[in-house]
Structure 1
């Protein structure tokens, strides 16, 4: 039976005593926080509370822990796996962290920035830019996702090739534990081997082990110049051959290497005609495209010369069929807009699809793409596959779309079988069914099928120690 609460709930009065009347509401008064951004999950909550400080977060957690009330921490509510949505049971309190939005400190001598969990990623980037530094985490959702959510899922993004994922960008964190204690781990150290690395344990745990309230993040010098190129290929093997040449030719200056399948590119041309495209659309299962970015420490001329040299040699070798090297900021923005917003917008217009956030050894990508695509089309006639991703770390966003002559109700009978086929193929290629979007609710029930039993057992032991009452984000990552 679902729990039912109202504005007269005594817990609400206790929460308001901590955060103020305006910042603690019955769950039904904040419906926008109860549904994930893909409209896949809609839950219920006893209350929604918006603390302003870490101490208020700790007081709220102590109150709720004392009554064994489940807690769902939420940032920008941009999860693609239902990771920040309460369950339908309705007894949880949503702890919305967007009011924790202060940038506490920027230490230029140490190239570090300390900021709270509710800071938007775009605002963190801007703060670094104003300090003449670079914070390199870059995501399509950067205008709405928060630093806390990025830490909770260990987000990757388009510049992970050079700078690493969120874990690699983090020096220290502040965490409110499941019993309401505050762990101040905001040490801005590059080396600290004094015991177990608790920081890395909480990062990527999706709010199931503790609630991250602040972080100290690494900053980098702003590059002297950035150059991009959009390339066309006849086969995925040629893409990876060019990637190998790019690593050797550009070294650490290679910032991003994004890949887009021909089917995905053609879908953008059909569903999003207003999107500017570097090349006319040519449908073909073997057609592939890549978006390459160079961040140069010397000059724009040096970056352009390096890009032209490596790509020119690849064209002569027959690896690259065609190339567009933008000369203006507007042209550069257009090709990145295609990658960061165009692909998702086109798929949204096409209809609901089964999104898979997977990672593979880079060498296994071609065989996975061909064998899994063939298996899907044989098992589900008419089904379509749209693939893009980060070639640098083997992270593919592998989206499976229904046949065009069907509606979204196709998934009522086919989604589980489609996901099982894809996930088994990932496992057969020594990959992971979860790369950067988190396990959330979407994959929690299947995770034990794709992890060794000992790994699951060790994860459960950690969960039991850090959250013995099981109140932190129930139903996510590990099921009870």
Structure 2
């Protein structure tokens, strides 16, 4: 339906938007719009009046003002690599029946790099890999790293509070941001681009927008923390028997290596097998299969030879104690990249294998083995023949726990009824004091499910914030709350 308060018909509305962003900033052809209306997994397909691609914060503000005036909903979009449907529009907007996709991809400038302050100020459309490269060019590190870093954009990363593979040492996005620039739902611009590490002048407003998935405003720029670029890296793939051994080894490595431990990635044999099956050019680095694997990476100043020697000694001791069955230590950057390709290709390999019911969950690190054991046992009892692909950032308790049937025909029926599977997984997470969304957000996928696992008070506080900032529910409606 079209809102009664709207004064511009579709043609006039399009002309008004084009007057702001130019014809190059408007996509109206259905074929050209299609990639913006479908998520990476192909699970969600939405509808929109236009795709709008502003080139500046001022253009974003003017577009938002026009949409607010006409009661047209706005779906902010970055690289559209999310897995929960948060970056694509609904099939029909729940508030007015009219909506646009606001793509930030043209806003891709690095505004400033201050090496002495260890900060970089970037626009929301900057691809994550480009930010990493700019930091390296200044002999600095921007540590956020994930499999989609060649296409995901920093605005989307911040909107979902992305974690990635270096959280163990550097934290989530919330820990990497000093300041934000945000266009509010009425078109006003909040300039919070402060490069300060100490600012005790009231509420930390930026944290409202990080992890909000575009439901409270449009992030247009950010001041991000940089770190000294490590000169030494040591990377190893380990074969182990169980997640319990992984937790024990993590504790031992952190006791001896401290913050040198950057990444600690757990992978089941099935997860690795799918990569070997579907990703060309990959091979098993170990001589035989093991039930579970760990990808461990350390970084430090100094020489890589010294750090490799320390990791090798730790692994030899772990082998003697039975913590590890086998291990391979990368001897070159090419070997390191080959090991990381195995881990980073797991989402792509699963996509090629077929649809699965994905769960991005977290529990306290010490309870990861218990979660995997309990949830797997309950699923196998309820659904004989179920196939579980588990992998993730065990160093921060974040497991990607994916469920399907090996037989394609059985799986086609199985994935159509996700609720019983989700209930088993999420109830297990809740019993262990965990979260049903660790780093991908809620989006459309978990918007209703979260009502079972958050308290009524928490949900009401979230809704109150939403009503205060976005009283007409125009910012990414149908997502999160």
For normalisation by structure 1, the TM-score amounts to 0.95
SS of residue in 1 equivalent to 2:417: helix
Residue 77 (structure 2) aligned to one of 70, 74, 78: 74
Q: C-alpha distance in 1, partners of 2:430/2:10?
A: 50
User: Conserved in 1, the CA contact under 8 Å of 2:357 and 2:415?
Assistant: no
Moved more, 79-88 or 265-274: 265-274
User: What's the offset of the Cα at 1:413?
Assistant: 4.2
Are residue 20 (structure 1) and residue 22 (structure 2) matched? yes
For normalisation by structure 2, the TM-score amounts to 0.95
User: What's the offset of the Cα at 1:306?
Assistant: 1.2
Partner of 1:470 in structure 2? 473
User: What's the offset of the Cα at 1:272?
Assistant: 4.3
User: What's the offset of the Cα at 1:102?
Assistant: 0.5
Match runs of 1:74-473 below 5 Å: 74-89=77-92, 91-272=98-279, 274-280=281-287, 282=289, 287-341=291-345, 343-404=346-407, 406-411=409-414, 413-473=416-476
* RMSD (CA atoms): 1.8
User: Conserved in 2, the CA contact under 8 Å of 1:255 and 1:293?
Assistant: yes
Q: C-alpha distance in 2, partners of 1:213/1:94?
A: 15
User: Conserved in 1, the CA contact under 8 Å of 2:141 and 2:226?
Assistant: yes
SS of residue in 2 equivalent to 1:406: helix
Cα 1:2–1:443 change in 2 (3 A) is: farther
Q: C-alpha distance in 2, partners of 1:404/1:207?
A: 38
Cα 1:264–1:2 change in 2 (3 A) is: farther
User: Conserved in 2, the CA contact under 8 Å of 1:120 and 1:143?
Assistant: yes
User: What's the offset of the Cα at 1:69?
Assistant: 0.9
Q: C-alpha distance in 1, partners of 2:120/2:14?
A: 35
Q: C-alpha distance in 1, partners of 2:29/2:411?
A: 29
Which consecutive unaligned segments of at least 5 residues does structure 2 have?
none
Which consecutive unaligned segments of at least 5 residues does structure 1 have?
none
SS of residue in 2 equivalent to 1:30: helix
Q: C-alpha distance in 2, partners of 1:300/1:327?
A: 10
Cα 1:393–1:412 change in 2 (3 A) is: closer
User: Conserved in 2, the CA contact under 8 Å of 1:42 and 1:86?
Assistant: yes
Q: C-alpha distance in 1, partners of 2:23/2:366?
A: 56
Q: C-alpha distance in 1, partners of 2:232/2:468?
A: 48
Partner of 2:46 in structure 1? 43
Runs of 4+ residues deviating >6 angstroms? none
User: What's the offset of the Cα at 1:31?
Assistant: 1.1
User: What's the offset of the Cα at 1:280?
Assistant: 4.4
Q: C-alpha distance in 2, partners of 1:27/1:80?
A: 25
Q: C-alpha distance in 1, partners of 2:415/2:357?
A: 11
After superposition, what is the alpha-carbon deviation per residue over 1:384-440, rounded to whole angstroms, capped at 9, x for unaligned? 101001011100000112242635422354322111211111111111000001100
Q: C-alpha distance in 1, partners of 2:12/2:396?
A: 49
Are residue 53 (structure 1) and residue 53 (structure 2) matched? no
Q: C-alpha distance in 1, partners of 2:358/2:332?
A: 34
User: Conserved in 1, the CA contact under 8 Å of 2:109 and 2:123?
Assistant: yes
Q: C-alpha distance in 2, partners of 1:373/1:91?
A: 43
User: What's the offset of the Cα at 1:373?
Assistant: 0.4
Cα 1:238–1:61 change in 2 (3 A) is: same
Cα 1:281–1:69 change in 2 (3 A) is: farther
User: What's the offset of the Cα at 1:442?
Assistant: 0.4
Cα 1:458–1:442 change in 2 (3 A) is: same
Q: C-alpha distance in 2, partners of 1:447/1:312?
A: 44
User: Conserved in 2, the CA contact under 8 Å of 1:12 and 1:25?
Assistant: no
After superposition, what is the alpha-carbon deviation per residue over 1:54-74, rounded to whole angstroms, capped at 9, x for unaligned? 010000001110111110000
Cα 1:2–1:33 change in 2 (3 A) is: farther
SS of residue in 1 equivalent to 2:199: coil
User: Conserved in 2, the CA contact under 8 Å of 1:86 and 1:94?
Assistant: yes
User: What's the offset of the Cα at 1:347?
Assistant: 1.5
Cα 1:123–1:460 change in 2 (3 A) is: same
User: What's the offset of the Cα at 1:301?
Assistant: 2.2
